[in-house]
Amino acid sequence: MTPETPIAVVGAGIAGLALALALEKRGRAVRLFEAAPALSALGAGLQLSPNALRVVDALGLLPELEALASRAHAVTLRRASDDRAIARVPVISTDGTPYLSLHRADLQRVLLRAVERRPRIDLHLGHRLEAVRPRPDGIALTFSCGTDARVTVEAGLAVGADGVHSALASAAGLQDAAPTGRTAWRAMVEARSQGDGAPGITAWLAANRHVVAYPVSGGMRTNVVAILPSAAREDRSGGPAFPKSKTAPRLADLLARADGWTPWPILQTPAQRPYRLCEDRAVLIGDAGHAMAPFAAQGAALALEDAAVLADCLVSEASPAEALARYEAARRPRIDAVRRRVAFHRRVYHLPAPLSLARDAALALRAPASLAADLAWLYDWAPPLR
């Protein structure tokens, strides 16, 4: 695509902000449209594995992000019933790239500040996409932007980076994301004192459910995520119910201290959802293209990977059609592989007894290096950004 080809990005979340920065780094101007009238500090915690952080590093933002995050060396798997350690899975990549836990709002702020420093990125807030229409030389996008106000924007290419409820996917007639039958209950635990936050990343496994906890906000808070069947009942505090007789005291204390439980039904897009739309005038990235359950902690990472790969394709290929064909060829096999890993974790994490006992015994026999090798294909990925 020529530098004069206008690119419109719909959605200023992680995928959209990262794509705008990656394109600007390669000398391209970008128009970025966001439905919200302001980008507020919403969301909960997230984990960024080495494959994601290489994209952040290529954008020149890793030192700024690290100052707001906590480093993890491993994910510790424990039994929810008695807190017994099952396995310790190293998460640092072979080249030493770290693994961070942080608040989603901190990542968004770092990306947004960088966007605001780039004059070739034109950010439009309060623009909600209503319709798209392919044109011979590009695509027309119609946005509502206030009471009875509408504007139509013409671009050579539109990128849907607008999440699991993507307006661009909907406008193109795609099937909506579907419930997985699981709900993620999210909450924060304030540290009682300096250093009281969760040390590293811990996952407690139980039949048909699990809990993950890790530090955010520089270690002063712990992000807690409990993933249960959507039909599971609530306890008296309005949070997820865990039977006391089957919950270790340390985990029970963590759940009791958690404040402001919020249920988030987990949705996923069909695995066959097309990424290329509107006669190759539009493309979906991030959750808009491939939302999946968070059993591999790769949602934000895949969004950052998508942004880096798509930017490279758009500046390297002669036409949108060639760029999008190359993008899909590069991304779909990897995303499908992550989807298979998610399905594997979902099965293994939620095994009931006695199958869980066999799982625990098998994991105990494996060395940490062997467990780390299972994820090398995921964490050792490097972006094409230059």
* Active site positions, annotated: 214
Q: Are 16 and 32 in contact (CB under 8 A)?
A: yes
In whole angstroms, give the CA distance from residue 247 to residue 175: 39
In whole angstroms, give the CA distance from residue 50 to residue 25: 21
Among 59, 48, 64, which residue's Cα sits nearest to residue 97?
48
